[in-house]
Amino acid sequence: MQNHALRTLISQEVHARPFQRLYPDLGLIHIAATCTAEEQIELEQILSGILVDNEIPLPEQLTSFFYSSNDDMALRYEPHNEFYTLTLYQFGTMSVEKLQPLWKQLPGSLLSGVEILFGTEEQGEPDLKQYFGTRQVSGSMVMGKAARLWTDFYPSGEDGFVRMRVQNCSLKSFQAGRLLQRLCEIETYRHTALLALPVAQQAMPQVTEMDQQLAAVTHRIANSNDAPELLQELMELAARVEELSAETANRFSATEAYFAVLDRRIEELREDRIEGLQTVEQFVERRLDPARKTCLSANERIERLSRRITRTSELLRSQVELSIEEQNQLLLEGLNDRSRRQLRLQAKLESFTIIVVTYYAFDLLERSIRNTVQVDALQDQILMWISMSVPLIAGALWWYVRRLLKHYGEE
């Protein structure tokens, strides 16, 4: 037996993006950015330069996920369908000063960024005002009370990065790696999920306008007999809806997937409340839920509008088909009426036909007798009998004609 061609790939997939073993003290910068195909080549070159300049080992390839580190720093790169993420680690210090110049030289458009300072419980309760100023802070005990988390989810400083402070209580190294990675992903998917919000806000007025047009067309169906014009308007409206759906479907579908990942990552934090602070879950639910419902509502309204147009089109087609059936019925009734008139006319003409045929039959017999019978007395006697049999000849012809036309009359 030989190995399946995809066995190795399938086996390695579950280990493709492992969590790292991390220890306090640690400073971390995580960014999510988009880049074009042309910028991707430049991105690989700059990543290679960063690794070489900081004496971090080069991975085998820079086009897929990799994590590389030395004693002082580490770099984690992960490409996604429409963006990439880069995480820079600085070991042994709760500072990100050395990391800040590194990401700024990267190509692309920045979507989100987060700074995380990971310390120990022995350092004491952090001064939250030093990190977050007077802004409202969200915080909780996470990972089964193995760590504490504080953040304001507010873009701070010149770079506009969200700041987070994590304090280790009893985390193991792999647990610390999972926690910090989840926090990075929460911030990433919190932003990428909202890429659909401007699309939804632009689509809503268009959907409302088309909805009103559909309502007007539906009202006219019951009060107008101009079905072809209404059907043309419906086809144009359906084309506009399908165009809008094609423009927004991928974005709304991606947003739904991003929100699902976001919910999962927040759930994995296993939060317990810190008295006086709202949890990360409460903050996200309160602040993101309206935007989330707006995106979902826009997508659902487009789908419902498309279905309503389909139902209205079917209703109008049924009305057109009913009208066509009524016209066909009137046409058949007209044909039947003409057929009946033709049959009545034919019946009237039968008598004339019998008279004419009788006349020609009697004339044929008379000429035949005059030419064949030479005796005048016998000729006169035969002609007299033939003259007396004219009614019989007419009756026989009438019976023959009726029998001949009986089959057509039944049809």
Q: What is the mean pLDDT of residues 293-299?
A: 93
Classify strands 84-91 and 66-69 as parallel, antiparallel or unpaired. Answer: unpaired
DSSP letter, residue 1: -
Q: Is the pLDDT score of 343 beyond 80? A: no
Structure tokens that stand for 103 in this block: 């990401």
pLDDT at 366: 74
pLDDT at 349: 67
Structure tokens that stand for 146 in this block: 């193995």
* CA dist., res. 166 & res. 163, Å (int): 10
pLDDT at 16: 63
Chain mean position to CA 324: 35
pLDDT at 273: 93
Which residues, other chains included, contact 127 with Cβ-Cβ below 8 Å and sequence gap of 6+?
A: none
Q: Is the pLDDT score of 275 beyond 60? A: yes
Q: What is the mean pLDDT of residues 239-265?
A: 93
Which residues, other chains included, contact 86 with Cβ-Cβ below 8 Å and sequence gap of 6+?
A: 30, 31, 33, 47, 75, 76, 77, 78, 103, 106
Classify strands 161-168 and 109-120 as parallel, antiparallel or unpaired. Answer: parallel
Percent of the chain with pLDDT over 90: 50
Residue 155 has, within 13 A of its CA and on its CB side, a CA count of 9
Neighbours of 94 (CB within 10 A): 19
Q: Is the pLDDT score of 410 beyond 60? A: no
Q: Cβ(262)–Cβ(193) under 8 Å? A: yes
Q: What is the mean pLDDT of residues 63-91?
A: 92
Give the pLDDT band of residue 355 (cuts 50, 70, 90).
confident
Q: If you compute the radius of gyration of the chain from its CA atoms, what whole number of angstroms results? A: 46
Give the residue among 69, 86, 68, 88 at the shortest CA–CA distance from 78. 86
* CA dist., res. 362 & res. 384, Å (int): 12
pLDDT at 15: 59
Q: Is the pLDDT score of 405 beyond 70? A: no
Q: Cβ(166)–Cβ(293) under 8 Å? A: no
DSSP letter, residue 278: B
pLDDT at 14: 63
Look at 5-9, 73-77, 336-340 and tell me which has the smallest mean pLDDT.
5-9
Which residues, other chains included, contact 339 with Cβ-Cβ below 8 Å and sequence gap of 6+?
A: none
Q: What is the mean pLDDT of residues 393-409?
A: 70
Domain coordinates in residue numbering, the chain? 7-182, 195-329, 342-410
Structure confidence by residue, pLDDT tens digits, 116-142: 999 998 877 788 888 888 889 999 999
Percent of the chain with pLDDT over 70: 92
**Identity at 137, one-letter amino acid code:** V
Q: What are phi and psi of 180, to 5 degrees?
A: -65, -35
Residue 118 φ/ψ region, left for φ over 0, alpha for ψ in the -120 to 50 degree band, beta for the rest: beta
Structure confidence by residue, pLDDT tens digits, 139-178: 999 999 999 999 999 998 888 899 999 999 999 999 999 9
Give the residue among 18, 278, 268 at the shortest CA–CA distance from 144. 268
* CA dist., res. 125 & res. 290, Å (int): 34
Q: Cβ(274)–Cβ(139) under 8 Å? A: yes
User: CA distances (Å), 215 to each of 110, 207, 209, 299, in order?
Assistant: 43, 12, 10, 19
Q: What is the mean pLDDT of residues 304-330?
A: 83
Give the pLDDT band of residue 350 (cuts 50, 70, 90).
low
Give the pLDDT band of residue 33 (cuts 50, 70, 90).
very high
